[in-house]
């Protein structure tokens, strides 16, 4: 009965617990993921036992993973990824085989049965998408070269885990042929969904999103709708295949990633990141807290010594395997090191594989507890390695340098420096564009209107679609490195943010409506604050006096203004027609 | 994938095409979410999403509470509170009456009254964005009316929590509610500061921390047995802050709210038992008749009543009509009240459905009336002469002797004030035209001659004796007003304002003596400064000093007029 609907306390407790530990972590300089995992351990059956997994938390944590991958997809430019596809395959397949063997060996040494050891091996070969992608996002390294390698490897692992889960769900496989069929079907499906996503990004999405890009709310909801479409299809693909007598699954993570990838190819995708990010943060937090919620204390701690030992051995082993493989693909030493150190943990998929294996009757709950503890410990520890990966690299670089190769993959992204940034195209900033083009090699215009962006691009300007209120956009516009910034926004807070971000020696022009705002902006370091309405008011006052005192002079003045306005209109049309640069 | 996640996925997938259609025709989002929900209702189990939907409600109310600025609210409230409360009583009463006519028991008819009385803040203010940005009287007026209605709606939700309508539980409920609000006022941003300090600039922790606080308040409300809406509102009040202080937090909360709110509206739609499809013919007809009744009340009677009340409280006919046309829809708060009442079994499915359907319809019609508001006003005013308006203008205007060879200044914003000063300095006769009641006091104390009326009305101009005037200066940045002034074809010279250079050129062509385009002037000033920087070797620091000095001179000139925080955009 609907009458019974109350907000469940579990979610509230999870939120509060995560908040308290999150604050503690922040104050002591620890990464938040560790705080969330510990919150889960404390709140869950292992310690206090006040929270269990509910339908709601379960759905939200699944959503967390899906959104995390969607967000990641939104950040990926196809042409940036294409050239590293082959190396990624060459790295990921041997890596999984090697780690699985290592995991198996350790398990046998630790006294697990052979079957248990094989399954443990299969469970530990993945690195954690949640940890790595979340950390890459937080550190803003998702689109760096090592970030892309890691993400690529994680996606290949994703495909493998989906296949493995399908096999485990079917019970003990009869023969190799069955596994091969499942593998083939999953690969074909993944390829089909990829083609659909990329095809849509070429032919369908540009038209759809062109229309809605100016309405932030609709844009956001349609993007979510698009993401859910892929999530749904990936998850329910069985429904579509059942009539053909085929059984197969795809992961919702992969669907979400591809949905994001399709949107990423559009010029309007940047702003979406800042919209999806908060939802992702919230749901991923729930994901990390709920990881530890399934197990009782004695199950979790039954093999605690073995788990700690395995963690201590597996993390360095994983690092060495990744390092040799990425190095073998001739990436630079730094990329190799960072790409490897990020991937040393055991994945949440390890737990999921464990659950499937336990349900399939391959292993007992205690082994599942071992896997869970192993994953929790390695995730927690690896977060510190990722957090401080650059500093670590500086320390170990001399030792590693003998493995250095000539880096084959160089990033060729355009980076702005000493350029001019114009925020918002309007009558005022429009006047400045030709003058700035004469002076600066790069003039970048940031605007939130699709029409403006198209006009400017036609006229040959560099453009960035998005709202400067978003940090991502400010970063992409490289306001920090700009020599000149003109903001035609009259929102003082935006202008203040721009002023704070701009370098001390940069020249910054802003607009304001009120005198008090103008003063504040000068205090923040503005070089000039334009106040159009005040200017107009003062001029009009002067004209009024002139009108009654000296009509000829008045006529003369207004003729000048009139010409200016007409010139302005011609000039604006010039931008549309794209002949400004001539 | 869990069943709940499948449900949410389907909800969003179905919503997509409907949003595209709505956007294609520039219609608001909310009704299309509801319609998508009605369709989704056939394939999903909406009860699964009810809990998420209630988070949507909580977040909506919470964000409403956050934005309440108690220091600024006072002076605006006075303007329209009579109008808002009068409208709620009259229209609400009519709604209850219609319900009883349909044979609905009084206890349920009350909800019909509630539904028709409140207008939607989301839809109304979204439609009015331009008016609000231009700070037109009707934008501010409509905003205030919506605001007061939302407050009253929250009080009703507070009372609604008491499941039986006997006096005693209501008293207890109110008691708990008051305690929560008192707590909110005592905390007064203290919590926000604490969270801000602990989160240490991390948007992620800031958002999670603030959501936790919201959940705490909601939990307290649940424990006390009052509606979660009350808890969420109190949480908003306790945290209330200026969105620009923590833009990351605000944008994050908006994203999260939009996500859950979409689920709420779709769920509401899915709860509807669709006439004819899921229901027999007789019952369907009955339900649809009720829907029609509600739509007529909301989209026709309500604006009429509101207009009448506004005219009575001193606004002139055009402002009143246009304001009313922006509140002719059913509120999202009415939806919340309806869903709460349905869950408490105080409302039958039939009445609930009628309210939801009528809400979807009126939200769409409302954007149409908004689009054609000027035409509707023209049409209405040609049938009915708004009685007493001329008398009102006469009563509130002061034009001592019929002026000749004078200047008529439209709008008493900063520009208008500067012009009045200029006239007074040169001993020129002038008449000010304005229609903002909030400015009446300052106009009457500072100006010798003024007409308090709408510049769109000829009577106002007769009153200002435009035939004998030398010059008309409009400081109002509004295309309809400028067009109207050009079409009057006065003998006097005409000076206009606009933001758009192209429009400025057409105004010149159509006979304006001068058009002030502030952006062009600012652009010219900017170009000059840039040339001096790049070509004449002026250093950025020199420019800065020069500009600050200029500002100081300017402030010194206008200092005696006021503190310098008045906007000049009008």
pLDDT tens-place string over residues A496-543: 888 888 888 899 999 888 888 888 899 988 999 988 878 888 888 888
Q: Check whether B164 has a pLDDT greater than 70.
A: no
pLDDT averaged over every residue in chain A: 83
Give me the residues of B, 481-520, that contact A with CB < 8 A.
493, 495, 497, 499-502, 504-505, 508, 513-520
Looking at chain B, the whole-number percentage of residues with pLDDT higher than 90 is 13
B223 shares contact with chain A (CB less than 8 Å): no
What are the helix (H) ranges across B426-517?
440-446, 458-463, 479-488, 501-509
Distance from CA of B337 to the nearest CA of A (A): 15
**Residue partners of A14: CB distance under 8 A and separation at least 6:** A39, A40, A43, A51, A57, A286, A289, A290
Among the partner-chain residues B13, B345, B518, the one whose CB lies closest to the CB of A228 is B13
Indicate the pLDDT class of residue A344, thresholds 50, 70 and 90. very high
pLDDT averaged over every residue in chain B: 82
Among the partner-chain residues A19, A211, A486, the one whose CB lies closest to the CB of B209 is A19
Q: Check whether A112 has a pLDDT greater than 80.
A: yes
Q: How far apart are CA A386 and CA A389, in angstroms?
A: 5
Indicate the pLDDT class of residue B75, thresholds 50, 70 and 90. very low
Cα angle value A252/A278/A258 (rounded, 5°): 30
pLDDT tens-place string over residues B94-138: 999 988 988 888 888 888 898 888 888 777 777 776 666 666 677
Q: Of residues B191 and A1, which shows the higher confidence score? A: B191
Q: Which residues pair with B452 in a beta bridge?
A: B434
For residues A329-357, give the mean pLDDT: 86
Give me the residues of A, 497-536, that contact B with CB < 8 A.
497, 507, 509, 511, 513-516, 518-519, 522, 526-536
Q: Check whether B4 has a pLDDT greater than 90.
A: no
Of A238-247, A471-480, B329-338, the poorest mean pLDDT is in A238-247
CB contacts, 8 Å: A43 with chain B? none
Looking at mean pLDDT, say which of B255-269, B398-412, B434-448 comes out highest. Answer: B255-269
CA dihedral in degrees (A120, A125, A131, A132; nearest 10)?
A: 170
Q: Which residues pair with B495 in a beta bridge?
A: B473, B514
For residues B196-225, give the mean pLDDT: 85
The answer to whether residues A309 and A71 touch, using CB atoms and an 8 Å cutoff, is no
Query: Which CATH number is associated with domain B3-162+258-383?
Result: 1.20.1530.20
Q: Check whether B464 has a pLDDT greater than 70.
A: yes
Closest residue in A to B506 (Cα–Cα): A566
Interchain contact, A55 vs B3, CB within 8 Å: yes
Which H or E run contains A421?
strand A420-423
Q: Of residues A250 and B536, which shows the higher confidence score? A: B536
What are the helix (H) ranges across A444-550?
450-458, 471-476, 492-501, 515-523, 532-549
B444 shares contact with chain A (CB less than 8 Å): no
Closest residue in B to A430 (Cα–Cα): B523
Q: Residue B554's pLDDT is what?
A: 77
- From residue B315, how far is each of A59, B242, B360, B534 by CA, in Å? 53, 31, 30, 53
Indicate the pLDDT class of residue A563, thresholds 50, 70 and 90. confident
Give me the residues of B, 229-248, that contact A with CB < 8 A.
244, 247-248
Q: Which residues pair with A462 in a beta bridge?
A: A444
Give me the residues of B, 49-108, that contact A with CB < 8 A.
50-52, 54-55, 58
Q: How far apart are CA B434 and CA B464, in angstroms?
A: 11
Domain positions in chain B are: 3-162+258-383, 399-558
Other beta carbons within 10 angstroms of residue A422's beta carbon come to 28
A53 shares contact with chain B (CB less than 8 Å): no
- Counted across chains A and B, CB pairs separated by less than 8 A come out at 334
Looking at chain A, the whole-number percentage of residues with pLDDT higher than 70 is 92
The answer to whether residues B271 and B352 touch, using CB atoms and an 8 Å cutoff, is yes
Q: Of residues B458 and B21, which shows the higher confidence score? A: B21
Interchain contact, B204 vs A208, CB within 8 Å: no
Residue in A34, A58, A533, A549 to test binding to B, most B beta-carbons within 10 Å: A533
For residues B72-84, give the mean pLDDT: 57
Residue in A61, A139, A252, A537 to test binding to B, most B beta-carbons within 10 Å: A537
A78 shares contact with chain B (CB less than 8 Å): no
CATH fold match for the domains B3-162+258-383 and B399-558? no
The answer to whether residues A425 and A445 touch, using CB atoms and an 8 Å cutoff, is yes
A460 shares contact with chain B (CB less than 8 Å): no
For residues A113-137, give the mean pLDDT: 88
In the sheet that B493-498 helps form, which strands lie side by side, from edge to edge? B450-452, B430-434, B407-410, B471-474, B493-498, B514-517
Q: Residue B73's pLDDT is what?
A: 46
Interchain contact, B202 vs A438, CB within 8 Å: no
Of A48-52, A398-402, A410-414, B467-471, the poorest mean pLDDT is in A410-414
A12 shares contact with chain B (CB less than 8 Å): yes
Q: Check whether B232 has a pLDDT greater than 50.
A: yes
Indicate the pLDDT class of residue A69, thresholds 50, 70 and 90. confident
* Domains assigned to chain A: 2-403 (1.20.1530.20), 420-577 (3.40.50.720)
Count, residues in chain B: 570
Q: Residue A297's pLDDT is what?
A: 79
Buried b (16+ CB within 10 A) or exposed e, A52-85: eebebbbbbbbbbbbbbbbbbbbbbeeebbeebe
CB contacts, 8 Å: A212 with chain B? 19-20, 23
CB contacts, 8 Å: B203 with chain A? 278, 281
pLDDT tens-place string over residues A362-399: 888 889 889 988 988 898 899 889 988 888 888 888 88
Buried b (16+ CB within 10 A) or exposed e, B453-484: bbbbbeebbebbbbeebbbbbbbbbbeebbbb
Query: B508, B502, B412, B461: which is closest to A573 by C-alpha?
Result: B502
Q: Residue B74's pLDDT is what?
A: 47
A242 shares contact with chain B (CB less than 8 Å): no
Q: Residue B259's pLDDT is what?
A: 93
Q: Of residues B156 and A306, which shows the higher confidence score? A: A306
B385 shares contact with chain A (CB less than 8 Å): no
Q: Of residues B452 and A18, which shows the higher confidence score? A: A18
Q: Of residues B238 and A183, which shows the higher confidence score? A: B238
Indicate the pLDDT class of residue A577, thresholds 50, 70 and 90. very low
For residues A260-272, give the mean pLDDT: 83
Indicate the pLDDT class of residue A1, thresholds 50, 70 and 90. very low
Residue in A536, A543, A558 to test binding to B, most B beta-carbons within 10 Å: A536
Looking at chain A, the whole-number percentage of residues with pLDDT higher than 90 is 19
Looking at mean pLDDT, say which of A557-571, B26-40, B58-72 comes out highest. Answer: B26-40
Superfamily of domain B399-558: NAD(P)-binding Rossmann-like Domain (3.40.50.720)
What are the helix (H) ranges across A329-364?
333-341, 348-359
A438 shares contact with chain B (CB less than 8 Å): yes
User: What is the separation of C-alpha A330 from the centre of its chain, rounded to a whole number of angstroms?
Assistant: 26
Interchain contact, B520 vs A537, CB within 8 Å: no
Looking at mean pLDDT, say which of A199-203, A306-310, B145-149 comes out highest. Answer: A306-310
Indicate the pLDDT class of residue A580, thresholds 50, 70 and 90. very low
State ipTM: 0.81
């Amino acid at each position: 009965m609907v009458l019974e609907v109350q907000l469940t306390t579990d979610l509230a407790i999870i939120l509060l617990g995560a908040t308290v530990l999150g604050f503690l972590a922040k104050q002591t300089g620890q990464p938040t993921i560790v705080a969330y995992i510990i919150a889960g351990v404390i709140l869950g059956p292992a310690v206090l036992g006040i929270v269990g997994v509910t339908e709601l938390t379960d759905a939200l944590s699944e959503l967390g993973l899906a959104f995390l991958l969607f967000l990641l997809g939104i950040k990926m430019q196809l042409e940036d990824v294409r050239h590293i596809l082959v190396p990624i395959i060459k790295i990921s397949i041997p890596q999984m085989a090697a780690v699985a063997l290592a995991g198996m060996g350790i398990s046998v040494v630790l006294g697990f049965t052979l079957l248990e050891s094989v399954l443990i091996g299969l469970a530990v070969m993945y690195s954690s998408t949640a940890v790595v992608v979340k950390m890459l996002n937080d550190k803003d390294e998702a689109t760096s070269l090592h970030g892309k390698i890691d993400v690529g490897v994680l996606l290949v692992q994703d495909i493998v885990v989906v296949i493995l889960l399908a096999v485990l769900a079917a019970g003990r496989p009869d023969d190799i042929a069955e596994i091969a069929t499942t593998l083939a079907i999953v690969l074909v499906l993944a390829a089909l969904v990829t083609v659909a996503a990329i095809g849509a990004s070429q032919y369908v999405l540009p038209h759809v999103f062109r229309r809605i890009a100016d309405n932030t709310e609709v844009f956001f909801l349609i993007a979510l709708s698009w993401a859910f479409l892929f999530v749904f299809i990936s998850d329910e693909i069985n429904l579509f295949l059942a009539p053909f007598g085929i059984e197969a699954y795809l992961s919702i993570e992969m669907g979400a990633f591809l949905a994001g990838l399709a949107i990423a190819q559009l010029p309007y995708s940047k702003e979406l990141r800042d919209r999806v990010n908060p939802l992702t943060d919230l749901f991923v937090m729930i994901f990390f807290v709920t990881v530890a919620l399934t197990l009782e204390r004695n199950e979790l701690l039954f093999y605690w010594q073995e788990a700690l030992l395995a963690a201590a051995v597996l993390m360095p082993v994983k690092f060495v395997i990744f390092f040799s493989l990425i190095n073998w693909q001739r990436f630079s030493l730094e990329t190799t090191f960072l790409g490897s150190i990020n991937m040393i943990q055991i994945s949440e998929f390890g737990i999921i594989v464990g659950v499937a294996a336990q349900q399939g009757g391959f292993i007992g709950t205690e082994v599942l507890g071992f896997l869970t503890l192993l994953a929790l410990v390695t995730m927690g520890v690896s977060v510190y390695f990722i957090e401080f990966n650059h500093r670590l690299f500086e320390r170990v670089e001399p030792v590693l340098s003998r493995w250095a190769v000539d880096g084959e993959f160089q990033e060729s992204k355009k980076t702005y420096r000493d350029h001019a940034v114009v925020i918002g195209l309007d009558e005022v900033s429009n006047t400045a564009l030709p003058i700035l083009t004469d002076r600066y090699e790069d003039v970048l215009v940031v605007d939130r209107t699709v029409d403006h962006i198209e006009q400017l691009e036609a006229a040959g300007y560099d453009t960035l679609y998005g709202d400067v209120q978003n940090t991502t956009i400010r970063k992409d516009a490289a306001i920090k490195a700009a020599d000149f910034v003109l903001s035609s926004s009259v929102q003082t807070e935006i202008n203040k943010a721009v002023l704070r971000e701009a370098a001390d020696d940069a020249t910054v022009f802003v607009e304001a409506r009120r005198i008090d705002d103008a003063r504040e902006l000068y205090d923040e370091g503005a070089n000039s604050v334009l106040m159009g309405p005040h200017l107009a008011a003062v001029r009009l006052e002067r004209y009024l006096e002139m009108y009654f005192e000296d009509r000829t002079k008045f006529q003369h003045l207004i003729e000048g203004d009139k010409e200016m306005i007409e010139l302005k209109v011609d000039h604006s049309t010039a931008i549309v027609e794209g002949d400004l640069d001539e | 994938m869990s069943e709940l996640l499948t449900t949410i996925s389907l909800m969003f997938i179905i919503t997509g095409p409907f949003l595209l259609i709505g956007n294609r025709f520039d219609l608001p989002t909310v009704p299309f979410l509801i319609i998508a929900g009605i369709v989704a209702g056939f394939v999903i189990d909406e009860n699964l999403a009810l809990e998420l939907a209630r988070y949507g409600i909580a977040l909506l109310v919470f964000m409403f509470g956050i934005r309440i600025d108690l220091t600024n609210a006072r002076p605006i409230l006075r303007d329209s509170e009579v109008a808002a409360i009068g409208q709620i009583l009259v229209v609400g009463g009519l709604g209850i009456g219609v319900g009883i006519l349909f044979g609905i028991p009084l206890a349920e008819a009350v909800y019909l009254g509630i539904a028709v009385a409140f207008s939607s803040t989301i839809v109304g203010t979204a439609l009015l964005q331009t008016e609000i940005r231009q700070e037109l009287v009707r934008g501010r007026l409509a905003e205030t009316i919506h605001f007061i209605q939302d407050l009253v709606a929250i009080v009703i939700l507070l009372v609604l929590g008491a499941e039986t309508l006997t006096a005693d539980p209501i008293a207890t409920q109110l008691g708990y509610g008051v305690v929560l609000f008192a707590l909110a006022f005592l905390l007064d941003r203290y919590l926000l500061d604490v969270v801000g300090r602990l989160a240490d600039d991390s948007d992620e922790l800031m958002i999670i921390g603030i959501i936790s606080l919201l959940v705490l308040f909601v939990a307290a409300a649940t424990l006390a047995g009052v509606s979660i809406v009350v808890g969420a509102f109190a949480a908003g009040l306790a945290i209330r802050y200026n969105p620009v202080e923590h833009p990351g937090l605000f944008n994050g909360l908006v994203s999260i709210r939009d996500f859950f709110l979409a689920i709420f509206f779709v769920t509401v739609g899915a709860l509807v038992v669709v006439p004819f499809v899921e229901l027999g013919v007789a019952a369907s007809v009955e339900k649809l008749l009720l829907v029609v009744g509600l739509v007529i009340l909301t989209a026709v009677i309500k604006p009429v009543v509101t207009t009448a009340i506004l005219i009575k409280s001193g606004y002139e006919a055009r402002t009143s009509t246009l304001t009313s046309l922006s509140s002719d829809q059913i509120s999202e708060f009415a939806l919340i009240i309806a869903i709460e009442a349905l869950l408490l079994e105080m409302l039958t499915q039939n009445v609930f459905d009628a309210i939801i359907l009528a809400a979807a319809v009126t939200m769409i019609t409302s954007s149409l009336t908004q689009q054609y508001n000027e035409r509707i006003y023209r049409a209405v005013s040609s049938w009915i002469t708004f009685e007493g308006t001329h008398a009102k203008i006469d009563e509130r205007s002061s034009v001592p002797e019929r002026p000749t060879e004078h200047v008529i200044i439209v709008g008493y914003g900063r520009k208008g004030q500067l012009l009045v000063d200029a006239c007074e300095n040169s001993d020129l006769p002038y008449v000010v035209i304005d229609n903002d009641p909030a400015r009446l006091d300052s106009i009457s104390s500072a100006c010798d001659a003024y007409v308090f009326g709408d510049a769109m009305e000829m009577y106002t101009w007769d009153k200002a004796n435009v035939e004998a005037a030398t010059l008309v200066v409009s400081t109002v940045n509004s295309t309809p007003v400028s067009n109207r002034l050009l079409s009057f074809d006065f003998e006097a010279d005409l000076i206009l304002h606009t933001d758009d250079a192209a429009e400025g050129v057409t105004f010149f062509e159509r006979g304006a003596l001068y058009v002030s385009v502030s952006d062009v002037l600012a652009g010219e000033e900017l170009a000059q400064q840039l040339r001096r920087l790049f070509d004449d070797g002026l250093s950025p620091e020199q420019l800065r000093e020069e500009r600050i000095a200029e500002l100081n001179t300017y402030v010194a000139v206008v200092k005696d007029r006021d503190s310098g925080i008045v906007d000049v955009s009008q």
